[in-house]
Structure 1
Amino acid sequence: MTGRTAAQRAALPPALAEPLDAWVEHLTAGRDLSAHTVRAYTGDVVSVLDHLVRRGGTQVTDLDLGTLRSWLALGRTRGDGRSTTARRAASARSFTAHLRRTGATPEDVGLRLASPRAHRTLPEVLTADQARAVAETPRPLPEDAGPEQAAVALRDALVVDLLYASGIRVAELVGLDLDDVDHGRRLLRVLGKGRKERSVPFGVPAERALRAWLSDGRPVLAREGSGPALLLGLRGGRLDPREVRRVVHAATAAVPGAPDLGPHGLRHSAATHVLEGGADLRSVQELLGHASLATTQIYTHVTVDRLRAVHAAAHPRA
């Protein structure tokens, strides 16, 4: 929570702060949302309630559709984009629905709160050849490299291989424990959004990188307090997501012509290549852990572009 948001929350009257706290507890315990999502949603609703107070409101029954609309409009004048506005509207609707459900208000005033649809565009992806080069380009070590640097190089190679091989998210990657790996069937047990568990396959190159890390890398970095984490940082703790992003950016930068991608770019690339290889959308949905097939369909425009190119090259009447 930012300093400004914390100050706004502290200034709310009890009649507004108490329903807010009850809703935050519902998000955390009832819906089991991530800390990042709860933080974003909370900031949005604190802003709503601060706006209500500035308009003379003192309790949640003073919140109406006009207040919500003027709050969103104020954000747009301050530069909120479509995605931010859509998220803020979703936060407000979640709050007003909770107020109605708990009996704090007689009706859900957010039901008719419309918001623009966020643009859903696919970022750049690697070609199959570029992805192979990103995964296979060796990470050079200085001549005087010690065992810890060699271990980090093995870990970094595994990070890139696993992200592309499986298409999992950064948080899912760093959350893996040793017993989440089924070596015999080459499967990862992944805990995704909403704490939903799924099994994700990985290929032979990633298996080789994994075995090298487990035999020659992890034992070097492991400390007494390392616990069961599969991937470790230099101090022996669970690998930080920021370090994963640094590793991926460095790996893509090392391949001439490849776009500068982060971990999510590898996830997009994996999904695109699997679809281009003939997989159906339902399989890709399961691989990526999407709750809705509509989310997975963002990838279809890439394969449609490929289909057009094939049609133009092969059809006699193209």
Structure 2
Amino acid sequence: MPPDPVPEVPARVAREVRGWLDHLEVERGASANTLASYRRDLRRYGEFLARRGRAAAAEASERDVTDFLAELREGTAGHRPLAASSAARTLVAVRGLHRFLALEGATATDPAADVSPPTPPARLPKAIPVDDVERLLTAASLGDTPAALRDRALLELLYGVGARIGEAVALDVDDVQGLEPEAGREGTGTVRLLGKGGKERLVPVGRYAREALAAYLVRGRPALAAAGRGTPALFLGLRGGRLSRQGAWAVLQQVADRAGLSAHVSPHTLRHSFATHLLDGGADVRVVQELLGHASVTTTQVYTLVSVQRLLEVYAGAHPRAR
């Protein structure tokens, strides 16, 4: 049985859409790509309204908009289902059209105002296995030049304390304390990080990062600092100034290539790995929240999905009745 013919977009809907797009182009300076995208999305909406017997977008109800969104997600004979992100983009065009019509006085109310876009599924943070982290940090330990000592200290710190790249390059020497062990006691180093919104947090520094930082401060940083004019920055570039974010990125990419890591590794990958490995080791999610500097535990809880996935994999592979 042939599919139902695609209905024509009602003439009034086409005029309403044209009026809004002209407004976006002239008043808002919208790009040609944006206008073309909205035009495609609203053509589909116009076809939907035609099937509903609506002669104009101004006649649409909130139920119409809600049902259109559901149709986007479920698909029709002529259109495949859209992912949450694509459906949300289409809804942006529909909401913009109805808001324009309300502001122009074509409708007394805005039927799309209270229709929320679908929530995309939570994306699991990208983390790399502990073995790959060790390969990376071993590759960073090759060489004894000032730059090599800095690179190892930088990467050990990124993974060891879960710092954001911006937090790491913003560190001053005085922000790191307690690297040297006290008499009869192992070192209890800490680093003071300045996170989003100017929020400070104090994070403990593990032995490997402490040793790497101590070696860099004694044998690496003084040589790099000699090329500059004097700066309190912890991590320095070859000219003696503060290492930039781009410079830190380049360090990580060079070391990852040397380690032979096939997966894309970014500074945020090390932060994700820090959190994931802590939770895999049994750390409480609220402790990880504090270490990461998240304002809400809800942000941190996405990492628990990674740990649950790991539990499922182990269970499926080890339990005799799992499959």
Which TM class, normalised by the smaller chain length?
0.5 to 0.7
1:153-195 per-position Cα deviation (integer Å, ceiling 9, x unaligned): 1111111111011111000000111111122531110000011
Alpha-carbon distance in 1 for matches of 2:22, 2:291:
43
Partner residue, 1:289: 293
Q: 1:126 aligns to what SS in structure 2?
A: coil
The CA distance in 2 between the partners of 1:112 and 1:304, in whole Å, is 35
Counterpart of 1:33? none
The residue that corresponds to 2:46 in the other structure is: none
1:237 deviates by: 1.0
Q: Which residue of 1 is the match for residue 213 of structure 2?
A: 210
Once the two structures are superposed, the pairs formed by residues 1-318 of structure 1 within 5 Å of their partners are: 54=24, 74=38, 82=85, 112=114, 114-118=116-120, 120-138=122-140, 140=142, 150-183=145-178, 185-222=188-225, 223=227, 225-318=229-322
Asked whether the 8 Å contact 2:140–2:148 carries over to 1, the reply is no
Q: CA deviation at 1:306?
A: 1.6
Unaligned runs of 5+ in 2: 1-20, 29-33, 42-83, 93-111, 180-187
Contact 1:272/1:302, CA 8 A, preserved across alignment: yes
- Partner amino acid, structure 2, of 1:307: L
SS at match of 1:291: coil
The answer for unaligned runs of 5 or more in structure 1 is 1-50, 59-69, 90-109, 142-148
What are the Cα deviations for residues 268-288 of structure 1, in whole angstroms up to 9, with x where unaligned? 111111110001111111111
| 1:126–1:258 Cα contact (<8 Å) kept | no
| Distance in 1 of aligned mates of 2:190 and 2:290 | 13
CA distance in 2, matches of 1:279, 1:52: 56
1:251 is displaced (CA, Å) by 1.9
Matched positions, count: 232
Q: TM-score, normalised by structure 1?
A: 0.62
Q: Which amino acid aligns with 2:296?
A: S
* Percent of aligned pairs with the same amino acid: 43
Quick one: which amino acid aligns to residue 165 of structure 1?
G
Q: Which has the larger radius of gyration?
A: 2
The 8 Å contact of residues 226 and 232 in structure 1, kept in 2 or not, is answered as no
